[in-house]
Amino acid sequence: MLLEVKNLSARYGVVKALKKVSFEVRQGEIVAMIGPNGAGKSTALKAVCGLLAATGGCIDAGEILFEGNNIQGLRTDELVGRGVSLVPEGRRVFPTMTVLENLQMGAYTVADKARVQQDLDLALGLFPRLKERLGQKAGTLSTGEQQMLAMGRALMLKPKLLLADEPSLGLSPNFMELVFDRLVEINDNGTSVLLVEQNAVEALRIAHRAYVFNVGEIVLKDTAENLLCDDKVKKTFLGG
């Protein structure tokens, strides 16, 4: 098993954000976490990547295992070294740095320049539009281009597990389609993906399995195909 989260409980102050949730990602999978705003999806993702405390939250109980090893409490840079990479909600590019500098920041732990160049070529192969804008300041890119940049930056260390937090947020339909297609391509190239997404239909379209969150709990889990056909899921989360 690549990622195992067992009985995870978390809170923000006195507010319980997660109540004993358990989920997993196997090697080669895209796993989606869907549900309404405030359901706990992003909290679960932040707990996995070590950013929960930075947003004012804390873990009360549970285990987080990556390749069988306990990663709870590790710093984000330590997780990156183990093969976990994050595409954060809101993109979080460095606006005053160029596209090239942003991408290079994704490989800041790598001293081998040849490897960095190789990984850069792979990222630009996935997002050729960025190649045309390498010298442009990231803050001047469109929202969709910034999302490409955030994804390219996260891929610079060839992660085993890519965590994607609301990657389609604020994107036009064309860019949204491109982002989901690239997630499939990234997965086809050998990277497992854990996806938090408000656009449940598109998330289920590309995922192998999915977990449905509601009020801090997982209320349904199944293959993505089965959840797309589930009347309760369609009525509650997919607009009928």
Residue 73, Ramachandran bin (φ over 0: left; ψ between -120 and 50: alpha; else beta)? left
* pLDDT-derived band at 108, boundaries 50, 70, 90: confident
Among the ranges given (109-118, 162-171, 205-214, 221-230), the one the predictor scored with the smallest mean pLDDT:
109-118
Helices 173-188 and 143-154 pack at an angle, to 10 degrees, of 10
pLDDT digits 0-9 by tens, 29-66: 999 999 988 899 999 999 999 989 888 999 999 999 99
What is the residue extent of each domain of the chain?
3-237
- pLDDT at position 91 is 77
Architecture per CATH, domain 3-237, reads as 3-Layer(aba) Sandwich (3.40)
Residue type, 105: M
Q: What mean pLDDT is predicted for residues 122-137?
A: 93
- pLDDT at position 101 is 93
Percent of the chain with pLDDT over 90: 74
Q: What mean pLDDT is predicted for residues 87-105?
A: 89
Percent of the chain with pLDDT over 70: 98
State the pTM of this model: 0.92
- pLDDT at position 143 is 92
217: how many CB neighbours lie within 10 A of its CB?
Answer: 15
The CA distance from 224 to 213, in Å, is 14
